[in-house]
Chain A
Amino acid sequence: MSRIGVFVCHCGLNIAKTVRVSEVVEFAANLPEVVIAEEYRFVCSTPGQELIAGDIKKYNLDRIIVAACSPLMHEKTFRKVAEAAGLNQYLVTIVNIREQCSWVTEDEDVATKKAKALINGAVYRARLLAPLVSRFIDVNPEVVVVGGGIAGIQTALEIAAVGRKVYLVERTPTIGGHMAQFDKTFPTLDCSACILTPKMDAVLQNPNIELLTYCEVAEVKGFVGNFDVKIRQKARYVDHAKCNACLACVEKCPGKGESEFDEGLAKRKAIYIPFPQAVPQKPVIDRETCTYFIKGKCRLCEKICEQKAIDYEQADSYIEIKAGAIVAATGYDLMDVKPLAQYGYGRYPAVYHALEIERLFNSAGPTAGKVVMRDGREPQSIAILHCIGSRDKNNYEYCSRVCCMYSLKFAHLLKEKTHGDVYQLYIDMRAGGKGYEEFYSRLLEEDVKFIRGKAATVTHRTKNPEEEGKLIVEVDDTLTGKFARIPVDMVVLAPAMKPRADAKDMARMLNLSTDKYGFFMEKHPKLAPLSTMTDGVFIAGACQSPKDIPDTVSQATGAAAEALTIVSKAKMELEAATAMVNAAACSGCRNCVTVCPYSAPSMNEEKGVSEINEALCKGCGLCAAACPTSAIITRHFTNEQVMAEMEGLMEF
């Protein structure tokens, strides 16, 4: 038998005007297990709170019911009162007789009757409530940042700046990401390397950042505050602890591979650093192109290395990291444009994609900054084709957001470097951003030919002598309404930014949801754009959706702040009203495991029952309703409690 106290609030006249409070109190007092029922003008006031606290002691109450305003208003207040009086806060029930009773009718009889029914429901339920205790867990103070592009670099630097340890995990041999490949940045045209390399260097120098290049995340376990991240260090065949970055090995290496950094437009050695400003400056050996690995002979690098840093026997190794938070900044891939055969990429050597052009502009690039084509000619006419794969229902319906601006940048640079004719073939010019519209205006003055229309095809089939030796871009000019054929020497495609090829795997590892394209889903598009459905995992940059550098850097800074809010505390309070599994009743159907958005339940295969990690549980109850045997108990909203409340509500 419980000892229930019921406190009915007048809320001045807010409640008392329509609900006959005394009648309700008398009704409550006569209910079984109700020891005392009282009324007060403002129960939330200090004397009201004292009344409750006093009664808890005086009548030895083990449950209290406060019939007043909405629980969303004062539940916390009354929970505190109970705790202070020695009663567990979860033994408090709030009955909403204001917002959902006295304020929504003028009929006294109706309001009084409803107030009684609501209190009756609360009495039925209160008997079955159980005390719950919030649990605190230790928080690991370190953060893992996945991805060493500008987003990851920025996040790592921000977190390190407050003295927290960061592990920056990068898959390639260097950090820098796509931004390192760019020559200039829009709209200011400042040199990408000039603004990026100091940051890369800062990462290297920062004692709080542990840089893990040529590494991949292999496994993520645990939960917010306590992640266990397993990192695979891919074999470099060079002992970076010994290497002094003299790069003599690179010079002597006879192996030849295509430079990934230069988008295959230049060669690199088998032992290499991706580009001169790479961080770290220490090389790795590419097995696929290394003469020794291919033919079993060579070992030139080993001979030349004074540090004895070359180690052909090196194997992949694993690093286990504990972290309190994780930031995913894994970036994007450029869409492969080959399948879009109408644009001739891969078929016509004079068709380039955006990143290739970036490398052509760059003074450290394959052409030392000269715009010359694969055949060595300098193009005299160039068409830049927007929206290749973007805004395209057959490929990616979204706008890739950056292409208009970098296409303008290309136009400017091409004009500057070749003085040729430059055409922009666009659907709409999207220039929303600080200084973007101005940049567009500037380009309009620069003798660039803007044609409003999406390029239909690129072909070498000529129709007149003027077109001879050129590529013809066919387009419906939507401004003139005419079909145009534009003969050019060079075609530049602006392909869609798409999720990384392995984004789904990464999402699975981090337990993130992805949108229909594969970009990571934020928790809320407006109010929690950097959080995810997995607590403690945040996202920044183009892994969430296409975005430019300023947006990426802003997000990265924000994600750092989000991660810090978690790791800056030593302990974390867990939701107390979580779900649990009554193992004896679990039939092992896995429904809970399948439906939980937080991956809180998991299958204990040995026992054949599911278990809930309460640190991950948010208490929504989705699993409990999916559980056919009612083995899952959603604390504070158990099947019994909900059905008891229903019974009480329906009695009168």
Chain B
Amino acid sequence: MTAFKDIEERLKEKAKDLLEKGEVECVFAYGRGYDERHPRPYVAKTKEDAENLVFNEYCTFNLARYAVKEPRKKIAVAAKGADSRALVQLIQEGKLKRENLVILGIPAAGMVDAKSGLTLDEKTTGAFANPVVYDVLLGDKLPEAKNSPYEVLGELEGLSGDGRWEFWRKEFARCLRCFACRKACPMCYCDPCFMDQSRPRWADKSPTLDGNTMYHLTRFYHLAGRCVDCGECTRACPVDIPLYLFHKRLAKDCEEMFNQAAGMKLEDKPVLVDFRVEDGDEILL
């Protein structure tokens, strides 16, 4: 495995090179935050900026979330496994153009969520070690996780329906409606979000359990077949709602029913705006 320090060096070098040659307008990557453990998303626009880039195990952010705001510019994006899936998914949805992107692929394992101290692996999120699409690879390819990313669902799936509802009810009740989940999500590019609508008002404007439930269920649905399991929603949540569990479950369902995982192939169509004549009614059971 290539050391994070070496990846950082290559990232700087490549960014400098791209910016110097004018091949991209900016490079979306990571910069220093208020300490080592807290890097920030950073946009390098000049070769001098490129010197400020950093990469370490705390660089968990999914930069596709920023790239999607620049659909017309030629940009470079540092992309770990899940981040590259997000880029692919956004290309499928016509939000980004492949030809406008230079994907700086980063094979990365052992990333750490600074807040919880947890290592990101298949039990959590963002376990995809290697980028699925890239122009440059800034480190050596890594072996992929051996376990299914869905194993972690076992515990919840093992509960009774009542148990699961009790679990989610408690979690939804904690929700502050700070909307960090949707704002951190690379796929939640809608502005306004359905929750901001007043006609109709899909959920209470005030943070009630019922409104929170409607918000989260609908958002889960909107991400079905689109979520790339980067885990940003869950890391962003100030009250630590394990949103990733629901997203994972729907990703699993989509794989089982439609035989397609989000953001894996440029030529795929998002599953919910697609159908096959062979889709059977058994999926409704």
A–B direct touch, CB within 8 Å, in complex? yes
A585 in contact with B192 given A590-B94, A603-B94 (CB within 8 Å) = yes
Interface residues of A in 560-617 (CB under 8 A from B): 584-585, 587-591, 594-595, 603, 608
Assuming A590-B93, A603-B94, A643-B200, is B273 touching A629 (CB within 8 A)?
Answer: no
A626 touches B93 (CB 8 A): no
Cβ–Cβ contact B194 & A629, under 8 A: yes
- Asked if residues B95 and A588 are in contact (CB atoms below 8 Å), the reply is yes
Judge whether A640 is part of the interface by a CB distance below 8 angstroms.
yes
Interface string of B185-207 (1 = CB under 8 A from A): 00001111110010110100000
Q: Which of A584, A589, A626, A639 contacts B190 (CB 8 A)?
A: A589
Count of A-B residue pairs with CB < 8 Å? 47
Q: What is the bound-complex CA distance between A595 and B270, given in angstroms?
A: 11
CB A15 to nearest CB in B, in angstroms, measures 32
Contact B189 A629 (CB under 8 A): no
For the complex, give the distance between the alpha carbons of A639 and B194 in Å: 12
Min Cβ gap A391→B in Å is 21
Give the distance in Å from the alpha carbon of A628 to the alpha carbon of B269 in the complex. Answer: 16
CB distance from A633 to the nearest CB of B (A): 9
Interface size on A, residues (CB 8 A): 20
Which of A594, A608, A638 has the most chain B CB atoms closer than 10 A to its own CB?
Answer: A594
Residues of A within 8 A of B199 (CB): 639-640
Residues of B within 8 A of A589 (CB): 93-95, 189-190
CB neighbours of A588 from chain B (8 A) = 94-95
Q: Assess whether B273 is in contact with A630, with CB atoms less than 8 Å apart.
A: no
Indicate whether A587 sits within 8 Å of B190 (C-beta atoms), given known contacts A629-B197, A630-B202, A639-B200. yes
Decide if A594 touches B269 in the complex (CB within 8 Å). yes
With contacts A603-B94, A630-B200, A630-B202 taken as known, whether A591 is within 8 angstroms of B194 at the C-beta atoms is: no
Of A603, A608, A639, chain B has the most CB atoms within 10 Å of the CB of A639
B145 interfacial contact with A, CB 8 Å: no
* Chain B nearest Cβ from A476, distance in angstroms: 32
> Cβ of A629 and Cβ of B193 under 8 Å apart?
yes
- Smallest CB-CB separation from B223: which chain A residue? A628
Task: Point out the residues of chain B lying under 8 angstroms from A626, CB to CB.
Answer: 272-273
B222 within 8 A of partner (CB): yes
Minimum CB–CB distance for B54 against chain A, Å: 32
Residues of B within 8 A of A630 (CB): 194, 197, 200, 202
Q: Give every chain A residue within 8 A of B270 (Cβ-Cβ).
A: 591, 594
- The answer to whether A591 touches B273 (Cβ under 8 A) is yes
Q: Which residue of B lies closest to A590 (CB)?
A: B94
Whether B273 lies near A595 (C-beta < 8 A) is: yes
Q: Which residues from chain A contact B197 at a C-beta distance below 8 Å?
A: 585, 629-630
Point out the residues of chain B lying under 8 angstroms from A639, CB to CB. Answer: 199-200, 202
Contact, CB under 8 Å: B189 / A587: yes
Q: Are A629 and B95 in contact (CB under 8 A)?
A: no
A516 to chain B: closest residue by CB: B277
Of all chain B residues, which has the CB nearest A594?
B273
Q: Give the complex CA separation of A587 and B193 in angstroms.
A: 9
The residue in chain A whose Cβ has the minimal distance to the Cβ of B221 is: A628
What is the bound-complex CA distance between A603 and B95, given in angstroms? 12
Q: Which of B194, B200, B274 contacts A628 (CB 8 A)?
A: B194
Closest-CB distance, A515 to chain B (whole angstroms):
10
How far does the alpha carbon of A516 sit from the alpha carbon of B276 in the complex, in Å?
11
Residue from the set A589, A603, A640 with the largest chain B CB neighbour count within 10 Å: A589
Pick the most buried of B189, B192, B272: most chain A CB atoms within 10 A of its CB: B192
Interface centre among B189, B193, B194, B277 (most CB of A within 10 A): B194
Contact residues in B for A590 (Cβ distance below 8 Å)? 93-94
Is the Cβ of A629 less than 8 Å from the Cβ of B192? Answer: yes
Which residue of chain B is the closest to A586 with respect to CB atoms?
B190
Cβ < 8 Å to B, chain A residues 620-647 = 626, 628-630, 638-640, 643
Contacts of A584 in B (CB 8 A): 192
Inter-chain CA distance A297–B277, complex, in Å, is: 57
CB neighbours (8 Å) of B191 from chain A are 587
Query: What residue of chain B has the Cβ atom nearest to residue A515's Cβ?
Result: B277
Residues of B87-117 whose CB lies within 8 A of A: 93-95
Which positions 312-335 of chain A face chain B at CB distance < 8 Å? none
Measured between beta carbons, the chain B residues less than 8 angstroms from A629 are 190, 192-194, 197
Residues of chain B within 8 A (CB-CB) of A594 are 269-270, 273-274
Complex Cα spacing A169 to B92, Å: 36
Q: Which residues from chain B contact A640 at a C-beta distance below 8 Å?
A: 199-200
A629 to B270, CA, bound (A): 17
Which of B189, B191, B200 has the most CB atoms of chain A within a 10 A radius of its CB? B200
A643 to B, closest residue via Cβ: B200
Instruction: Name A633's closest neighbour in chain B (CB-CB).
Output: B199
B228 to chain A, nearest CB (A): 16
- Of the candidates B95, B193, B273, the one having the most CB atoms from chain A within 10 angstroms of its own CB is B273
A591 to B71, CA, bound (A): 17
B202 / chain A contacts, CB cutoff of 8 Å: 630, 639
Residue of A588, A603, A643 ringed by the most chain B CB atoms within 10 A: A588
Q: What is the CA–CA distance of A608 and B71 in the complex, to the nearest angstrom?
A: 10
A588 to B270, CA, bound (A): 15
Docked complex Cα distance between A70 and B59 (Å)? 61
Residues of A within 8 A of B272 (CB): 626
A84 to B269, CA, bound (A): 49
Q: B269 to chain A: which residues have CB within 8 Å?
A: 594
A628 to B270 alpha-carbon distance, docked (Å): 13
With both beta carbons as reference points, the residue of chain A lying nearest to B190 in the complex is identified as: A587
B214-239 contacts to A, CB under 8 A, are 222
Smallest CB gap from A644: residue in B: B200
* Chain B residue nearest to A622 in the complex (CB): B273
Please name all residues of chain A whose beta carbon is closer than 8 Å to the beta carbon of B200 when the two chains form the complex.
630, 638-640, 643
Contacts of B222 in A (CB 8 A): 628
Contacts of B71 in A (CB 8 A): 608
Q: Of residues A584, A591, A628, which shows the largest number of chain B Cβ atoms within 10 Å of its Cβ?
A: A628
Query: Which residue on A lies nearest to B71, using beta carbons?
Result: A608
Q: B138-157 vs A: 1/0 string, CB under 8 Å?
A: 00000000000000000000
List the interface of chain B (C-beta within 8 A of A). 71, 93-95, 189-194, 197, 199-200, 202, 222, 269-270, 272-274, 277
A residues near B, CB below 8 A?
A: 516, 584-585, 587-591, 594-595, 603, 608, 626, 628-630, 638-640, 643
Pick 30 A–B contacts, CB within 8 A, sort by A: A516-B277, A584-B192, A585-B192, A585-B197, A587-B190, A587-B191, A587-B192, A589-B93, A589-B95, A590-B93, A590-B94, A591-B273, A594-B269, A594-B273, A594-B274, A603-B94, A608-B71, A626-B272, A626-B273, A628-B194, A629-B192, A629-B194, A630-B200, A630-B202, A638-B200, A639-B199, A639-B200, A639-B202, A640-B199, A643-B200
Interface contacts beyond A516-B277, A590-B93, A640-B200: sample of 4 additional A-B pairs, CB < 8 Å, sorted by A: A589-B94, A591-B270, A628-B194, A630-B200
Closest 5 CB pairs of A and B: A587-B190, A640-B200, A594-B273, A639-B200, A590-B94
